Amino acid sequence: MKNKLRWQLLGLALFTLLVGVLAYPKEGDILRLVGIDHDLQIRRGLDLQGGVHLVYEAEIAEDEDSDDVLRRTIRIVQQRIDPGGAGEVIIQAADNNRIVIQIPDVDDPQSVIDRIGRTASLEFYEVNFQADNPEEQFIPTDVSGEDVRRADPGFDQISQPVVNLRFESGESTRRFGELTTRIFQNNTQLLILLDGEPVFGPGPVQGPILTGEARLTGSESVADAQEIADLLNAGALPVPLELVAQQTIGPSLGAEAVSASVLAGMIGLLSLIVFLVIAYRMGGTVAVTAMIIYTASMMTIFKLSALPIFGGYTVVLTLAGIAGFIMSIAVAADANILVLERLREERQAGMNPVKAVESGFDHAWSSIRDASIATLIICVVLYSLAQNLGETAIQGFALVLGIGVAANVASVSMITRTLLRGLVRTRFGDKI
Amino acid sequence: MINIIGRRKLWYSVSASVLLIGCVLLTVFGLQLGIDFTGGSVVNVITERQESEIAEIIQAQGVSDPLIIATEAGYQIRFAEDIEVEAALNQAGITVERFERVGPSVSRDLVTNSFKSLLAVSLAITIYVAFAFRKVEHPFRFGSIAIVALLHDSLFVLGVFALFGTVFGVEVDAFIVTAILTVIGFSVHDTIVVFDRIRENLLRRSGQFENIVNDSVNEVMGRSLNTSITTILVLFALFLFGGASTVNFILALLLGMVSGTYSSIFIASPLLVTWHNRQARPAKK
C-alpha cells in the first residue's frame, strides 16, 4: 500500500508539472527550452475575439434532399470565404435549412456577406442585334459556369486586369468551340453574364475558340478579378441563401470581456482558496491543491484541443463556455467539500485518520457519482440539441461543462484521494 | 438539530408566495425581451458626432423609427427592422463596435428551441434519478421532485428578471437561456446530493420516514452551506469585476445558486415527506 502510494504521488507530481507548464500563459518560452517551438493558444469564440456570426436560410425545395443541398452549399461557401482552408472559419448546418457561419477577425463584414450571398452563376448568350424582336436578340446557349474548370486572374495586353477561364476538356470545350464558331460565322456577338452583370461583351469574337480558353474583361482591379476567379472556382450555390441573422463584434469589446473575466476569475478563485483553507484547514489545503491542478488541467485541455490533430473537436471558449467553466469549478469545489465533510464526520465519530480518509471517500462517492452523471446527461442532451438547432452559445456551454464534470470526477478520485492518503501518513495526519 | 421537515408548511408558503409574485410579474409585465427574442437590430457605435447625424444615416437605410441612446463613447441604436446599416456607418467614418440583427424566423426559433431543451433535459433527469434511486421505495418520486425543484429555481430566476425588467429595464436576451440551463444544472446537482444522503440513511437506518429525512437534511447542511459559499464567492467576484457584458448572466447564476441550495433542502426534501405521508394515510372521504 505504502509503496503504491509513493508511486502515485510521484505520478501526480509529474502530471502537475506537465499541466502546470502547459497551462502557464507563456508556455511557449518554457517549451522552447526543451526544443519544442510551438505556442499553444486557447481558441476563443467570436464574442471574446471579435468577428462575424451569420445565420443563413437556404430555400430548399420540398423534393430535394436538404442534407445533401446543405452539404454542397457549405462546401461552396467554404471555398468562397476561406479558399485555402487556413482561416478559423466555422461553417455548420443547422435546423434542416440553416447555415451558421462564424468568422473571426473580419475587417469588412459587408464584403464577406456580399461574397457569400452571390449565386455566382455564369451565363453565356449569343446576341443578335439584327433580330427585329428585342426578345429574340438574346439567345441562351448550352454553355454555362459548370463548363468552367478553372478561373485565374491575370492581365491583358494593355495591362488591364482580366479573368482567364479554362473550360473542361472534351464536351465543354467542344460546345464552347461550337458556340464561338457559330457566333463568328453568323456575325453575331457573345455576351457573358455573372449574376446578371456583364463580364464580357456583348462583343464580336475574333475567331472560333477551340482551345477551351476565354478571357473575361471588365474587372475594376486585380482584387476584383481575384474575387470573380474565386467565385467561379467555387462554383454556383445550389440554392439561394437569405441572411436571417447577423452579429458583428468588434475586437476591442471581446478583449475587454476577456481581461475582465480573467481578473474576476482570479479574485474569485483566490477568495475560494481562502475560504476552503479557513473552513477545513489541512483538508482545505488538499482540496485547494486538487482544484488548482484541476483548473490547470482544464486550461491544458482547452489549449491542446486547439492543435490541428484534434481537428473538429476544438473547444472554442465563448462567454457561455466561461459560464460552463465557472459552474464546473463550483462542481469541483462541491465534490471536494463532500469528501471533507464526510471525513470530518468520521473523525468526530472517533475513527483513526487513515481509516477516516478511506471511509469518507467511499461515502461521498455515491453522491459525487450520481450528481456528476446527472450533470453529464444535461450536457449531452444540450450539446446534441444545440448542435442540431445551431445555437452555438449553448453548445459551447454544454461542451465545457461536460469536459469539466468528467475531469472533476477524475480529479477528485485521483488527485484529492491520493493527496489525502499521502498527507494522513505524515506528521500532520492527526490534524485532518 | 433543526426541525426543517416539521416546519415544511412554512417553507412551502414562503416559496409559494415568492413564486406567486414572480408569476404575477411575469404575466402582467412580462420579461423585457431583447432582439434575440423579438427580432430587430442593435448597433453600438463609437463616435463623437451628434445624435441627429447618426439618426440621419440610419434612416437613409430605410429604418423608420430608430431609438438612439447615448453611451460612454458613442451611441447604442435600436430598431425593429432587421436592416444592415453597418456598411453605411463605416462609410461615414463611424466605428461600429457591435452590430447584431435577428430576423423574425430566427427569433421565433429561439423560444421553441429553449422549450425543447428544457423539456428534453427534464425528461432525461427524471429517468436518470429514478434509475439512480431504484433501491429505495418509489424511485420516480425522487425524479419528479427533482423536476419540481428545478422548475422552482428557473421560475424564481425568471421572476426576479421580470421584476428587474419592470423596475430597471433590464433586458433579457439569449444569455437567459444559457443561464437558466446552468441554474437547472446547479439545481439538479444539489437535489441529488441531498437525496443521496436520504437514500443512504433510508437503506441503513430504521425509523419514521419523516425523521430520517430530517436527520439527513441536517447532516448534509454543512456541505450545502459551504458549497454555496464557495460558489457564491466565485460568482460574486465575477459579478463585481467581470465586466458589463456578463453582469446579467452572473446575476442569474447567483440567484439560481441560492435558490437551488434552498430548494434542495427546504422544498425537495419536505416534498418527499409530504408525498410519503399522503400515500401512507389516504385522505378521508
Which pLDDT belongs to residue B144?
A: 92
* Mean pLDDT computed over A99-124: 78
Query: Three-state SS string across B186-223, please?
Result: HHHHHHHHHHHHHHHHHHHCCCCHHHHHHHHHHHHHHH
Phi, psi values for residue A92, rounded to 5°: -130, 145
Residue of B84, B58, B127 whose CA lies nearest to A244: B84
pLDDT of B35 > 70? The answer is: yes
Q: Is the dihedral of CA A75, A80, A82, A84 positive or negative?
A: positive
Residue B100 carries which DSSP code?
Answer: E
* Mean pLDDT computed over A22-31: 80
Contacts for B201 with CB less than 8 Å, ≥ 6 apart: B212, B215, B216, B219
Q: Is the dihedral of CA A269, B220, B125, B188 positive or negative?
A: negative
The answer to whether B74 touches B97, Cβ cutoff 8 Å, is yes
Helix ranges restricted to H, chain B: 8-28, 35-38, 51-60, 86-91, 104-132, 139-168, 174-204, 209-241, 247-262, 269-280
B61 touches chain A (CB under 8 A): no
Which pLDDT belongs to residue A368?
A: 92
Query: Three-state SS string across chain A, please?
Result: CHHHHHHHHHHHHHHHHHHHHHHCCCHHHHHHHCCCCCCCCCCECHHHHCEEEEEEEECCCCCCCHHHHHHHHHHHHHHHHCCCCCCCCEEEEECCCEEEEEEECCCCHHHHHHHHHCCCCEEEEEECCCCCCHHHHEEEEEEEHHHEEEEEEEECCCCCEEEEEEECCCHHHHHHHHHHHHHHHHCCEEEEEECCEEEEEEECCCCCCCCCEEEECCCCCHHHHHHHHHHHHHCCCCCCEEEEEEEEECHHHHHHHHHHHHHHHHHHHHHHHHHHHHHHHHHHHHHHHHHHHHHHHHHHHHHHHCCHHHHHHCCCECHHHHHHHHHHHHHHHHHHHHHHHHHHHHHHCCCCHHHHHHHHHHHHHHHHHHHHHHHHHHHHHHHHHHHHHCCHHHHHHHHHHHHHHHHHHHHHHHHHHHHHHHHHCCCCHHHC
* Closest residue on chain A to B221 (Cα): A341
* Mean pLDDT computed over A1-28: 85
Crossing angle of helices B247-262/B209-241, nearest 10°? 170
Measured in angstroms, the CA of A144 and the nearest CA of chain B are apart by 32
Distance CA A126, CA A190 (A): 5
Distance CA A57, CA A2 (A): 63
* Closest residue on chain B to A112 (Cα): B87
Which of A114-128, B216-230, B242-256 is least confident?
A: A114-128
**AA identity, residue A148:** V
Which of A109-123, B90-104, B115-129 is least confident?
A: A109-123
Grid look-up 468551340 returns A177
The answer to whether A130 touches A202, Cβ cutoff 8 Å, is no
pLDDT of A183 > 70? The answer is: yes
Q: Which residues of chain B have a CB within 8 Å of the CB of A370?
A: 132, 192, 196
Is the model more confident about A377 or about A193?
A: A377
Which pLDDT belongs to residue B285?
A: 44
Q: Is the dihedral of CA A29, A32, A34, A39 positive or negative?
A: positive
Nearest to A378 among B82, B132, B188 (CB): B188
* Mean pLDDT computed over B112-141: 86
Phi-psi region of A205 (alpha: psi -120 to 50; beta: other; left: phi over 0): beta
Confidence of residue A85 (pLDDT cuts 50, 70, 90): low
On average, the pLDDT of chain B sits at 86
Task: Count how many Cα atoms sit within 13 Å of the Cα of residue A269 in the half-sphere of its side chain.
Answer: 20
Q: Which residues of chain B have a CB within 8 Å of the CB of A247?
A: 98-101
Which of A307-321, A351-365, B58-72, B190-204 is least confident?
A: A307-321
Confidence of residue A251 (pLDDT cuts 50, 70, 90): confident
Which H helix or E strand runs over B135? none
Which pLDDT belongs to residue A312?
A: 64
Distance CA B66, CA A25 (A): 44
Phi, psi values for residue B84, rounded to 5°: -80, 120
pLDDT of B284 > 70? The answer is: no
Which pLDDT belongs to residue A1?
A: 61
Highest mean pLDDT among A182-186, B65-69, B126-130, B215-219: B215-219
Q: Is B10 helix (H, G, I), strand (E, B) or coil?
A: helix
Measured in angstroms, the CA of A265 and the nearest CA of chain B are apart by 6
Q: Is B98 helix (H, G, I), strand (E, B) or coil?
A: strand
Which pLDDT belongs to residue B24?
A: 93
Distances (CA, A) of A286 to A167, A331, A411: 70, 16, 12
User: How many percent of chain B have pLDDT more than 70?
Assistant: 98
Distance CA B141, CA A358 (A): 32
User: Beta-carbon neighbour count of residue A34 at 10 Å?
Assistant: 7
User: How many percent of chain B have pLDDT more than 90?
Assistant: 33
pLDDT of B134 > 80? The answer is: yes
Which three cell numbers mark A303?
489549449
Kindly report, residue by residue over A309-327, the tens digit of the pLDDT.
776 677 888 877 887 887 7
The ipTM (two decimal places) reads 0.82
* Closest residue on chain B to A366 (Cα): B196
Which pLDDT belongs to residue A131?
A: 67
Contacts for A427 with CB less than 8 Å, ≥ 6 apart: none
* Mean pLDDT computed over A145-153: 75
Kindly report, residue by residue over A351-369, the tens digit of the pLDDT.
888 999 999 999 999 889 9
Nearest to A263 among B103, B188, B241 (CB): B241
Which pLDDT belongs to residue B201?
A: 93
Interface of B with A in 31-50 (CB under 8 A): 44
Confidence of residue A87 (pLDDT cuts 50, 70, 90): low
Which pLDDT belongs to residue B184?
A: 87
Task: Count how many Cα atoms sit within 13 Å of the Cα of residue A258 in the half-sphere of its side chain.
Answer: 16
pLDDT of B233 > 60? The answer is: yes
Distance CA B185, CA A323 (A): 12
B139 touches chain A (CB under 8 A): no
Highest mean pLDDT among A91-95, A345-349, B17-21, B187-191: B17-21
Q: Does the pTM exceed 0.80?
A: no
Confidence of residue A154 (pLDDT cuts 50, 70, 90): confident
On average, the pLDDT of chain A sits at 81
Task: Count how many Cα atoms sit within 13 Å of the Cα of residue B57 in the half-sphere of its side chain.
Answer: 20
pLDDT of B98 > 60? The answer is: yes
pLDDT of B111 > 80? The answer is: no
User: How many percent of chain A have pLDDT more than 90?
Assistant: 17
Phi, psi values for residue B133, rounded to 5°: -105, 25
Q: Is B47 helix (H, G, I), strand (E, B) or coil?
A: coil
Q: Do A337 and B249 touch (CB under 8 A)?
A: no
Which three cell numbers mark B211?
425523521
Measured in angstroms, the CA of A87 and the nearest CA of chain B are apart by 22
B181 touches chain A (CB under 8 A): yes
The answer to whether B36 touches A53, Cβ cutoff 8 Å, is no
The strand pairing partners of A102, in sequence order, are A53, A90
User: Beta-carbon neighbour count of residue B88 at 10 Å?
Assistant: 16
